[in-house]
Amino acid sequence: MILVLLDVDRDALDPVSLQVLTLSRGLDPDVQAVVAGDASVAAEAAAHGAGVVHVAEHPGLTDYAPRATAKAVVQLIASLSPAAVLAGGTPRGNEVMAHVAAFLDAPLATDCTSITMGAPFEVTRARWGGNLLEESSVTASMLLATIQPHAVAAEPSAAAGTVQAFTADLDDADLAVRIVERTGAAATGVTLAEARVVVSGGRGMGGSEPFAMLDDLAALLGGTVGCSRVVTSEGWRPHSEQVGQTGTKVAPDLYVACGISGATQHLAGCKNSKMIVAINTDGQAPIMQIADYAVVGDVHAFLPLLLAQARAASAG
Amino acid sequence: MNLPTSAKAVIIGAGIVGNSMAYHLARLGWRDIVQVDKGPLPNPGGSTGHASNFLFPVDHTKEMTELTHESMRQYKEMGVLTECGGIEVARTPARMQELQRRMSSAKSFDIDDTQILTPDQVKELVPYIDETVILGGFYTPSVCVVDSLRAGTIMRERALEMGALSVFANTEVLDIEVVDGHVAAVLTDQGRIEADYVIIACGCWSPKMARMAGAIIPLTPAVHQMKDIGPVPRFADAKGDIEYPIVRDMDTNMYERQHGSGLEVGSYAHRPILHEVEDIPSNAEAALSPTEMPFTQVDFDLQDEHSLELMPEIIGDENVREKYAINGLLSLTPDGMPILGETPEVKGLWSVAAVWIKEGPGTGKSVAEWMVLGESEIDLHASDIARFHDHHKTREHIVARTSEGFNKTYGIVHPMEQWASNRNVRLSPYFEREKALDAVFFETVGWERPFWYESNAGLLEKYGDAVMPRTSEWEARWWSPIINAEHLEMRETAGLVDLTAFCIFDVIGLGALETVQRTALRQMDVAVGKVVYTPVLSPNGGFKSDLTIMRLAHDHFRVVTGGAHGMADKKWFTDQLPADGTAQVVDLTSTYTTLGIWGPAARTILQAITKDDVSNEGFPFGTCRVIEIGPLRVLASRISYVGDLGWELYLPMEQGARLWDIVWAAGQPHGMIPVGIGVYGTTGRLEKSYRAYGNELESEYTVVEAGMQMKKVKDAEFVGKAAHLAHRDEDPAAILCSLTVDDNTSSTGEKRYMLGREPILTLDGTPITDRKNRRSYANSAGSAPSLGKHVLMSYLPPEHAVEGTKLLVEYLGEQYPVTVARVGNAPIFDVTNERIMG
Amino acid sequence: MEILVCIKRVPMVGAALILTDDGTELDTRRLGFQLSPHEENAVEAAVQLVEKHGGSVTLLAMGTAESEEQLREQLAIGADRAIIALTDGSEPDPQATAAGLLEAIRADGAPFDLVLLGSESADVAGYQTGIRLAHALGLPVVTNVKGLSITDGVARCERAVGSEREVYEVPLPAVITVRDGLNIPRYPSVPGRIKARKKPVTTHEVTIGAPRIVKHRLVVPPATAKGTTVLEPNAEGAAALVEAFREIGVLS
């Protein structure tokens, strides 16, 4: 039997949990799930192959409390003796499973992309942010592992499951760490390092005046302006805006590089951005190689077009 | 665009050098040039991408100064140059003297805006310096920074606009194909390109490229550490790249330069950190770029303290932080000079390597001229790849000499300074005997040569003040008064000189005469047994070399030349061989040893050990033949580079020791002494006004200017003939003169002796420039013991090239009176050459 | 406030990871080393807390003697002393890592109010060392922290989840693991470097038990070529970008 830890936040099941259920069915026909305090997702879990959904109950389990959840899972393990306990390789999945492993003094393999049951267990897990895979064996009577998000696609299962509640035995120490409050994003203003969107300019901007267009675009996209080293050297923008190995390293959702060829030291500071848009006259420039969208053309001609359309979209 | 399948030339590398080559080859008319680089553009990841990009024009080497000067001109023309000035500061009295020496080099090589500053004057220009730790500075207002990446892009674009170039970034060279000794094609990961010429311009990767073709480029990647700190409050309002002069803290081997809001601190003081080419990560593997390696702070600890001493206001500010620090890779060579020219191993394969930003465009122009026109305007002989002897190409030699040389980057390097590492590589058969005579060995291309013999110290008493003793440590360094004593004694008795370091190669075959005729200025169609001393001209009629050729048979010539330049001479002769294979060059350097004997007693000594007739009639000057000396057959050649009667004796290396013993025994009754190269290379030749290649003779000077033209020019064709004929028809812009120093006494009353490269000035202290814009400076300087004078040689414009003209020489900040003693090729000592001809 | 920051020396990698011939390790011969990224934020947070509340920052690195390079770097930005938990250089599994750190902390003997770690290391990324250490020390632990302040002996920890922040509060002593974005780590200054050279670095040899997760080999996953969409510099291109901006939710 494989026990899957469900990652639930305020009645919402993290989709990775469904992926883990799917993967578990391929390892063992008997898949059960455990969730702390919140039975609302039981049906969804059952629809993805959890034969039994165990709900840990305790007055203290009102919101996410990692150690308490782990303690409950450990108690369930004692009664169920599963062959493996799996969770999603999400922040919470990894965290609760690490507590479980610490309680049991057992090994935990995180971010696995594949698992083979046996003695020992064979796993493939991600290292270096997924840029490298590690093939390992895990020596344990029971496998504790988390599954890398999107390692498999979630597939529903025809079987229907049941819900079984159990009472977790928790002490104050288990409940000491839990969510006490939720707030919006930090109200510290948009700094370069934290900005969701960075609109950056390089030598191709040609001077300080055209940066006004970047200021406008950044404002529209809720971001901030960055620049390359040559721009600060030329005195067009302050050093605090410099992106790169020698300036600030950024990893925003969107990085717009305008007139930046992409010196290595600049790329080192922005290559982890989720989406990169590059506007440059040189289609062979290094920044173009790592861009999701490459606009081969003059920033001075193209930026006004982009600004106009973005403004229209924003207003509409 | 797909990679073409053929090209006239493939340039490997798109750093400052490759881009300069692309532009200048295109400018000189070449088309169908393909440039490849394995990295992206505009910064493919080599040293150009992280270079500090500043240029200090003053250097003690003329070639470097000229290349830097020309590069500055090009950077300025491209609009990528910012003049900021630069100050080399001194913390020690020895450095202050060195700064005076730099003043001299500046004047000698035509940079006039330099001055020596007091600490307060330095502080005025660089207000963040602590002036109390320095004694002064050497200020060059024309010091500048350049944007080398931008310059590269401009040059590439110009070549593209001319339709001469196609460029392929992200294209890695996998192999270079060679067919019958000539480069044939470049194999890349994007396809194969057939090419007539392949130019290796890949900086520290160059050895790897050369190896693919079976050639050797002896350089090593080495680390230069630098860190960029900031933002500096004082620079908050700085506009542009640089506003304050660059400071070179010479005594700590460091520099500090403002860079925007930051201060860049660089060092040549750390331990030598050398890498193998294979150690350099690929573009993909590198965290930054391949040549921006991780900074190793532990190697910079001392430099932090030194920079703090000099610039406490900035360096000591806790809020000024390290933004960027790298172990930047650059290329180092065993002798510190670039590696330029066609490789001796592979025709059509050219090296343009170990070139720094400061000389990049000038080097590109010069090598392009060399490729297209056969010769560059700037004489590149000190950078010629053909200069290397075989042992120079070993990893051990490269590592030893670059390690030793690295910390001399800002060092006070004496002109005669000897290397300590990798010695005793080439030993003559006389080595043990010389050691027993307490020889002091100096090295030339691996050979250990006695510079003087401590066993001759007894002569000092005999000659007293005639040896012109030196009290100043600087001039006494790498020198001994024994040299002058040996000189004087040789002129009285005889001297035995080990000349094994000669480079010797034979030209043989039916086409041998044609080859040497093509190469030599003088008539080589001479009788067998003749010895001809001849200039070798470059295509433009300048000096490519000067050397001696013996005709040993109708189809057999033996070329004897100096060791230092010998390998380049060998390549030059090889390049002149007829295409039909009727002549060959055979290197016999390691086959034959040479022993010289000169002096009034030379003939008596030689006659005592041979039955052959060595009388003036039986063995005239300028002839050679085999004589028997005891059990040895020795090729004797009656010439002289020291101004006395005597012979060079050539015989197989393994028999040399026996010859030494025979001559030694015969010489004793006549007072013969062993004589070092100090006499042979300097004192002996100077009082006879004999010229030396690399000092007086360079491609920038003509035969007429050197005063070495013959009455008539031979009918046979030779390289540089047309130019030489033209030179004979025009008035020389300058004439090589011998000058005597009238008074060596300095302001402190000490006798001071110039060592060479000092500027010659008119009596009012003005530098002298000829109509070809060349400065007059001391091409050579040294003692002339027989005259009791210090002697200089210098090219002077005709108005000054008059015997008896009074001029000045500037040496370490002071001026000394000199007199033009001889104009042209005329000896000061033994004017009628009686001693040689006797 | 006495703060311990556990740090790890990891290779400084570029875009491509090159493996040793036997495929079990990263080939680091041509690489430099650095601090695992989140830990830069941990040290910065510790230095800021000490600047505000007083106390001292102690660093602890487990690994070979070469770890001193990274320790000196962080001593230069303001930490006060450092400990090397010296190993033979073989890679411990996460259980052994926590055990080794614990051994060094006990050997050192000093008490700490706060133990900071990175949320996961750049190379192994086990997400568990801090939690295991907390259990062993009998301390509460908050992980993945991107906002941290301490008032009256209670640490207020913020964790970023989507556009929200979850807030946790733990009384000290506690273990907290932090991540990138918590702060902007300062670079060292030269005076900092010079001071760092004189700061004490002590060494405790630790023994690493046999790993229970046994690494057989490493594999570089097949490259998933990043498809670059090339757009024309015209209105259509601009429209395509605006659409892309909308898809990722940066434009309404």
Q: For domain B503-587, give the CATH superfamily.
A: Aminomethyltransferase beta-barrel domains (3.30.70.1400)
Non-local (6+) Cβ contacts of B104 within 8 A are B757, B758, B759, B810, B811, B812
> B384 at the A interface (CB within 8 A)?
no
**Number of domains chain C is built from:** 1
B281 touches chain A (CB under 8 A): no
Distance in Å, alpha carbon of A233 to nearest chain B alpha carbon: 5
d(CA C184, CA A191): 10
Residue C184 lies in a domain: yes
Tell me the domains of chain A and their CATH numbers.
2-175 (3.40.50.620), 197-315 (3.40.50.1220)
Q: Is C240 exposed, middle or buried (CB count within 10 Å of its CB: 0-12, 13-18, 19+)?
A: middle
pLDDT of A268 reads 74
> What is the pLDDT at residue B112?
86
Task: At B760, give phi and psi (nearest 5°).
Answer: -95, 135
Q: Which of C27, C101, C127 to mutate to test the interface with A (most CBs of A within 10 A)?
A: C127
Question: Quick check: is C35 in a domain?
Answer: yes
At residue B762, what is the residue type? T
Please give the residue of chain A at the shortest CA–CA distance from C217: A135
The mean pLDDT value of chain C amounts to 92
Cα B786 to Cα B689: distance, rounded to the nearest angstrom: 13
Residues in contact with B76: Cβ distance below 8 Å, sequence separation at least 6, in sequence order: none
Does residue C231 belong to any structural domain of this protein?
no
Residue B289 confidence (pLDDT): 85
**Which of B281, B319, B323 has the CB atom closest to C14's CB atom?**
B281
Q: How far apart are CA A19 and CA A153, in angstroms?
A: 6
C86 falls within a domain: yes
Q: Does B46 touch chain A (CB under 8 A)?
A: no
Structure tokens at B70: 């020309």
Buried b (16+ CB within 10 A) or exposed e, B799-815: ebbeeebebbbbbbeeb
Q: What topology is assigned to B731-830 in CATH?
A: Elongation Factor Tu (Ef-tu); domain 3 (2.40.30)
Whether C190 and B322 lie within 8 Å, measured CB to CB: yes
| Residue C129 counted as domain residue | yes
CA proximity to A145, closest of A133, A137, A153? A137
Contacts of C217 in chain A (CB under 8 A): 134-135
pLDDT band at A187 (very low <50, low <70, confident <90, very high): very low
A20 — pLDDT class (breaks 50, 70, 90): very high
| Model pLDDT, residue C183 | 84
Q: Residue A208, Cβ neighbours under 10 Å: how many? A: 13
CATH label of the domain that carries residue C91: 3.40.50.620
DSSP string, A37-63: S-GGGHHHHHTTT-SEEEEEE-TTTTS
Does residue C120 register a pLDDT over 80?
Answer: yes
Q: Cβ contacts (< 8 Å) between B301 and chain C: which residues?
A: 193-194, 197
Write out residues in chain B with pLDDT < 50, as ranges.
Answer: none
How buried is residue A131: exposed, middle or buried, by Cβ count under 10 Å (0-12/13-18/19+)?
middle
Find the mean pLDDT for residues C66-82. Answer: 96
Looking at residue B323, what is its pLDDT?
Answer: 82
Chain B contact for A184 (CB, 8 A cutoff) = no
Q: How far apart are CA A234 and CA A181, in angstroms?
A: 46
Residue C11, preceding peptide bond in cis (omega within 30° of 0): no
The whole-number pLDDT of residue A190 equals 59
Domain extent listing, chain B: 6-188+220-332, 423-501+591-694, 503-587, 731-830
Q: What is the CATH number of domain B423-501+591-694?
A: 3.30.1360.120
pLDDT band of A234, cuts 50, 70, 90: confident
Query: What pLDDT score does A188 carry?
Result: 42
Q: Which residues of B touch A245 (CB under 8 A)?
A: 288, 324
Q: Do B261 and A232 touch (CB under 8 A)?
A: yes
To the nearest whole Å, the CA of A232 is away from the closest chain B CA by 7
Give the integer Cα–Cα distance in Å for C7 and C43. Answer: 8
Strands (E), B538-652: 543-553, 556-561, 584-587, 592-598, 624-629, 632-637, 646-652
Cβ within 8 Å, pair A297-C233: yes
Element (H, E) at C159: strand C154-161
Closest CA to A127 of C209, C47, C94: C94
Chain A CB contacts of C238 below 8 Å: 302, 305-306, 308-310
pLDDT tier, C224 (very low <50, low <70, confident <90, very high otherwise): low
Instruction: Show which of residues 222-251 on chain A sit within 8 Å of chain B, judged by CB atoms.
Output: 232-235, 239, 245-247
Contact C163 A184 (CB under 8 A): yes
The dihedrals phi and psi of B113, each to the nearest 5 degrees, come to -90, 5
- Taking a C-beta distance cutoff of 8 angstroms, is the pair A278, A289 a contact? no
Among residues C144, C143, C140, C134, the alpha carbon closest in space to that of C153 is found at C140
Distance, in angstroms, between A236 CA and closest chain C CA? 23
Report chain B residues whose CB lies below 8 A from the CB of A285.
40-42
pTM for the model stands at: 0.90
Q: Cβ of C190 and B282 within 8 Å?
A: no
Report the alpha-carbon distance of residue B804 to residue B819 in Å, rounded.
Answer: 6
Q: What is the fold of B6-188+220-332?
A: D-Amino Acid Oxidase; Chain A, domain 2 (3.30.9)
User: Using an 8 Å Cβ cutoff, are C199 and C80 in contact?
Assistant: yes
Q: Which residue of A has its CA nearest to B40?
A: A286
How is chain C split among helix, strand and coil, in percent rounded to 5? 30, 35, 40
Q: Would you say residue C247 lies in a domain? A: no
CB atoms A294 and C231 under 8 Å: yes
Containing structural domain, residue C169: 2-205
Cβ distance of C191 and B317 shorter than 8 Å: yes
Q: Under an 8 Å CB criterion, which residues of C touch B?
A: 12-18, 29-34, 69, 72-73, 186-194, 197
The single residue listed with the structure tokens 């890779």 is B329
Residue B159 distance to chain A (closest CA, Å): 17
Q: A261 and B287: CB-CB below 8 Å?
A: no
Q: What is the pLDDT of chain A when averaged over all its residues?
A: 90
Query: Residue A240's pLDDT is what?
Result: 75
Give the tokens for residue B47. Answer: 């040293």
C140, C164, C249 member nearest A176 (Cβ): C140
* Residue C233 contacts A, CB cutoff 8 Å: yes
Which tops the pLDDT comparison, C180 or B559?
Answer: B559
Put simply, the answer to whether C147 touches A186 (Cβ < 8 Å) is yes
CA distance C80 to C60: 11
What tokens does B567 get?
Answer: 């390998």
Kindly state the percentage of chain B with pLDDT values over 90: 93
Give the residue carrying structure tokens 């931008």.
B150
Chains in contact with B via at least 3 Cβ–Cβ pairs below 8 Å = A, C
Which of C123, C166, C184 is nearest residue A128 as measured by Cβ atoms? Answer: C123
Q: Which of B42, B260, B323 sits opposite A261 (nearest CB)?
A: B42
Rounded to a whole number, what is the distance in Å from the CA of B291 to chain C's nearest CA? 11
B511 with B580: CB under 8 angstroms? yes
Determine whether the interchain pair A120/C214 forms a contact, defined as Cβ–Cβ distance below 8 Å.
yes
pLDDT of residue A189: 45
Asked if C128's CB is within 8 angstroms of A98's CB, the reply is: yes
* Beta pairing, strands B246-249 & C32-35: unpaired
